[in-house]
Amino acid sequence: MSATPTYEMHPVAWVRGGRAEPRDDAWDAEQAWVVLDETMDAETLRGLDAFSHVEIVFVFDRVDPERVETVARRPRNNPAWPRVGVFAQRGKSRPNRIGVTRCGLEEIDLTNRRIRVRGLDAVDGTPVLDIKPHMPAFDARGEVRQPDWAAELMAGYWT
């Protein structure tokens, strides 16, 4: 049997500004800069201004790898919600500690190699693995469903 492959990744950017510490809810009020790493050229941002939203792929770098959860639990430890596995929720204590958020693109500053975003649920200093333009063609196709507990959990997440 062969060994499980591993993949080395390096941040392409860093979150600057916004919240200093993670906390639940009201993320849409947050604005932050996503500043390209010194190894990235400003040209990587060219043309992004044609999009209203971007998807930011980032690392939950403040989650201790020892606290990663691989068993079912109740989201936010709410006893009213069912026990579900980590892949049935979007919590930060994931096996690879990767987060993905679609957020509003407010400004592009090519001179300083950065973009200003609204609604990014990552904190100041978070490493960014990728920046993607949001294209509606990549949204869910067909009817979308989710359990009631997920709608309850997200009721105040953005506002």
Mean pLDDT by 10 residues, the chain (159 residues): 90 96 87 98 97 98 93 94 95 94 98 97 97 96 94 89
pLDDT for the residue numbered 141: 93
Residue 25 falls inside a structural domain: yes
0.95 surpassed by pTM: no
pLDDT for the residue numbered 1: 66
Residue 8 falls inside a structural domain: no
Residue 129 falls inside a structural domain: yes
Q: Which CATH number characterizes residue 124's domain?
A: 2.40.30.70
Residue 1 falls inside a structural domain: no
Of 121, 109, 91, 106, the residue nearest 18 (C-alpha): 121
Q: Which tens digit of pLDDT belongs to each residue from 70-103?
A: 999 999 999 999 999 999 999 899 999 999 999 9
Residue 123 falls inside a structural domain: yes
93: containing domain: 13-154
Of 136, 104, 88, the residue nearest 34 (C-alpha): 104
d(CA 126, CA 57): 10
Residue 89 falls inside a structural domain: yes
The total number of structural domains in the chain stands at 1
Of 131, 134, 135, the residue nearest 58 (C-alpha): 131
Residue 5 falls inside a structural domain: no
Residue 68 falls inside a structural domain: yes
Backbone angles phi, psi at 63, to 5 degrees: -85, 120
